[in-house]
Amino acid sequence: MKLSEQEVVRRDNLEKIKELGIDPYPSDLFPLNVNSSEVKSNFDAEKGNYQEVVMAGRLMMKRIMGKASFAELQDSTGKIQIYVSRDDICPGEDKTMYNTVFKKLLDIGDFIGIKGHAFITKVGELTIHVTELVLLSKSLKPLPIVKTDAEGNVHDAFVDPELRYRQRYVDLVVNPEIREVFRKRTVIYNSMREYLNAKGYLEVETPILQPLYGGAAARPFKTHHNTLDMTLYMRIANELYLKRLIVGGFEGVYEFSKDFRNEGMSRFHNPEFTQIELYVAYKDYEWMMDTTEEMLEKVCQDVNGTTKIEVGENIIDFKRPWKRYTMYEAIEHFTGVDISQMDEEEMRAEAKKMDVHVDASLGKGKIIDEIFGEKCEPLLIQPTFITDYPVEMSPLAKKHREKEGLVERFEAICNGKEMCNAFSELNDPIDQRERFQAQLELGKRGDDEAMVLDEDFLRALEYGMPPTAGIGIGLDRLSMIMCNQNSIQDVLFFPQMKAEN
């Protein structure tokens, strides 16, 4: 491993610290009693509070001024100035801790613990006057510290996306504002849990490794279990397992699900992603649309304090009610062409007229999906429900109670991308078997995303599943919208990357 000049200096400082008898990675507890945000929010000079402060964080700046110095400490909540005086932290004759350790051997990025009291400097800046300082962890790599010159130009900013995603731990240190994105993501989860738990639904866990992949149209990751000597797949969805629980007698179940799809990557796709799936007995897709509106309006309010949020150049409003189109209505609205009465070959010809690429492996449902995806979806900026999909597109959805050839399904589209997918769930085991068999035929034609036939799931349906509404909401895409981020990589702590050279 070739070290940079700065790394060599830091390792030399590490050895000098050890020679002074100081443990650079001590095991002793350093109990904290406050963080920088609390002090900055609540300090009152007249009250003289925060006179026994115990804090810790990274040393982010030093301004040496002889016998006293100013520095900057960064903890998980922000930055605060500290004042370090030689005679305060070294009250005896031995001034090593200040003259040698603090001034010469501590580097930017080192973790330190301090004790002291808060005060306001002559120039009006809140500062911690340090009376005790300890080294908690030595940093051996220099941080890419952002510098701003007198003209306001920023230098050495850690902005390269690939570096930020690969070294998220550095990104979080030098660009602490991105922590807010991940804090909001947690609020999204908590808001949904609060909403669903209040309705009495049960949060559950289902298998990630599955003998058959199902519940979506996607290519799986494949592995082998040695002891059982069998092929297993990482789940592409948890739908079929949650519906087994509805068969078993639960009337409302949900799961925050890590799913995996062995497909292309983009700013909207990561091979590992998170969704929440919810299944409720004795409900239908119309009820689920109302529930989705209500829940996501609450989520937006909880995350941002309002139902209106800025996303790119748009102001998106999650306030109910949302616009609703059927699939065919949306295509006719945005293209001027009614394809509802066309057969597969007519649709294929119409797609070509629209410059929508469709190959011979695509059946009628996929052709409709391609037309909608290219000509309609990007234009749907405000939250919008697209309903009543063709049966060919939806092998797990119940046939429409009134419209021949359609199913009771909806997707919610927002900012030009799908947020969620929901059905009145198909609970007729004979119909379900026929749909699976139709999927097998598509697979033979070359559709590598076609579903497989799951005999155990069919057996479960044969025991009887009540009328059920189900939904899957993509939490990564929802987080992109709620946090105003234009790439899925910006809402994942550790997005998948190519191997480093």
Pick the CATH number of 179-322+382-491 from 3.40.630.30, 3.20.20.70, 3.30.930.10, 3.30.460.10: 3.30.930.10
CA distance 365 to 339: 12
The amino acid that residue 236 corresponds to is I
Q: What is the pLDDT along the chain (501 residues), one digit of tens a residue?
A: 799 999 999 999 999 999 999 999 999 999 999 999 999 999 999 999 999 999 999 999 999 999 999 999 999 999 999 999 999 999 999 999 999 999 999 999 999 999 999 999 999 999 999 999 999 999 999 998 766 666 666 556 788 899 999 999 999 999 999 999 999 999 999 999 999 999 999 999 999 999 999 888 889 999 999 999 999 999 999 999 999 999 999 999 999 999 999 988 898 999 999 999 999 999 999 999 999 999 999 999 999 999 999 999 999 999 999 999 999 999 999 999 999 999 999 999 999 999 999 888 788 888 999 999 999 999 999 999 999 998 888 888 999 999 998 999 999 999 999 999 999 999 999 999 998 898 888 778 777 777 888 999 999 999 999 999 999 999 999 999 999 999 999 999 999 999 887
In the structure encoding, which two tokens stand for residue 213, read together?
């992949």
Taking the complete model, does pTM exceed 0.85, yes or no? yes
One-letter amino acid of 306: T
Rg (CA), the chain: 29
- For 230-254, the pLDDT digits (tens) are 999 999 999 999 999 999 999 999 9
Return the SS3 of 33.
coil
Architecture of the domain defined by 5-143? Beta Barrel (2.40)
Of 306, 285, 289, the closest CA to residue 469 belongs to 285
Is the bond into 321 cis (omega within 30 degrees of 0)? yes
- Cα distances from 269 to residues 165, 224, 450, in angstroms, run 15, 25, 19
Q: Per-domain residue ranges for the chain? A: 5-143, 179-322+382-491
